[in-house]
Amino acid sequence: MSTARKTALKVLLEIRESAYSNITLNKFLKESDLSAADKALATACVYGVLDRTITLDYVLSQHIKTPLKKVHPIALESMRIALYQIMYMDKIPDSAAVNESVKLIKNSKQKHLSGFVNGVLRSVLRSEIKLPDGNDAKSLSVKFSCPKWIVESFINDYGIDDAIALLEFSLLAPPVTIRANTVNLSLESLINKLNNEGITTKKCQLDGALEIVGGIDVTKSVAYREGDFHVQDIASQTAVSILNPNSQESVLDICAAPGGKTFTMAQYMNNTGKIIACDLYEKRADLIAKGAKRLGLKNIAVCQNDATIINKKFDEFDAILCDVPCSGLGVIRRKPEIKYKDISEYTDITDIQSKILQNCATYLKENGRILYSTCTLRKCENEDVINAFLDKHSSFELKYQHTFMPHKDGSDGFYCALLEKSR
């Protein structure tokens, strides 16, 4: 039995219980003795199944009389793994994909389901797989494996052309972009150092940013261990450039973990001035502190703080980064499990966002500025929150706003708005 597929099955079962895909997969791979090839196969199966679950289930449901929610999870995930290989991995023979998934069941506590799994998958092989090809929300949901409510949200907010492009890009591998730690070394020095480790890069338009083109996992490099860069999407880096904090300022990062924007701000400030970086949870706040230590950034003070409650200990700040909790629909290609959350989980999200933004306004000095940002593509969490805030705060002026889209900006989906307090 392929240990790669067994690992993929275990990871998927754990992720379906609300675990994070990247953390769970990394944990299993680290604990395994899989070869590099098997790790690659396990990774491809995990992310492939997560990316394409709705499409896979559409096909499976045509060959199973029982509602899929009543099928045992081990059997269902095993069939999804096999079907993903059949539909999307040309180098693996269909018969091998089926046989390996049947073996998974035979070697599990649910061995009595092996005949069922074999029968369903053989039925799939005998038939022609057809997917809907219309541009209605239901057809697009199946074609791009995205819940109907998200498809409808994209269409309503951006129109059908951008919606389809967003759905297409949600299934592509995202770029890996890093930020040079200019406190330590120049961008050219980092390029040379990475090149010496076999990691090739290309410069981004934004100064200090590099896209990884090839080589080893960049986080396994000596340059990473020595604090010469941190991984950060180009949209997130660009947002910091819009806020543009300087070395004379005091800055608040109200929802900072895991710390990428905090670190970039510290570098803009030449490791001087003062940044207060906060998070609701102590463990996540610790991630910021560990990252700052690795990068040698000493102008960051980390604290645990509930952003929805006024903190009377905070002084007034020159600049505030207000990167609020959100639905995360801009990063589903990095964390595909996000898209399977029910819309009901976001019932109160705009109220939370508005409350955090309002609190940030009370911490701001006259002529200070707030950068509001999210990693989602729902206008109700972006423009609508900003417009509602401006309606109530005549002393603030909108200086900049932009929605970053993968197919237009080569970045994650991201929104930011710069607000300036005039009095």
Catalytic residues: 375
Q: Is 193:223 a contact under the CB 8 Å cutoff? A: yes
How far apart are the C-alpha atoms of 229 and 334, rounded to whole Å? 20
Max intra-chain CA distance, the chain = 73
To which residue do tokens 């880096």 refer?
A: 237
Cβ atoms within 10 Å, residue 165 = 16
Bond preceding residue 73 cis, omega within 30 of 0: no
Find all residues with CB under 8 Å of 395, minimum gap 6, and list them.
421, 422, 423
Distances (CA, A) of 182 to 20, 194, 227, 291, 304: 32, 15, 10, 15, 27
Instruction: Say what the alpha-carbon torsion angle 348, 406, 358, 259 is, to the nearest 10 degrees.
Output: 100
> Which is it for the CA torsion 270, 274, 280, 285, positive or negative?
positive
Q: Name the burial class of residue 65, with classes exposed (0-12), middle (13-18) and buried (19+) by CB atoms within 10 angstroms of its CB.
A: exposed
How far apart are the C-alpha atoms of 355 and 309, rounded to whole Å? 8
Distances (CA, A) of 26 to 7, 8, 170: 11, 11, 21
Identity (one letter) of the amino acid at 249?
E
Strand ranges in 240-389 using DSSP code E only, listed in sequence order: 250-253, 274-279, 300-304, 317-323, 364-374
Distances (CA, A) of 415 to 298, 391, 402: 29, 19, 6
Mutual angle of helices 114-126 and 94-106, in 10-degree steps: 170
Give, for 234, the enclosing helix (H) or strand (E): helix 234-243
Contacts of 92-99 with CB under 8 Å at 24 or more apart are 94/125, 95/125, 97/121, 98/122, 98/125
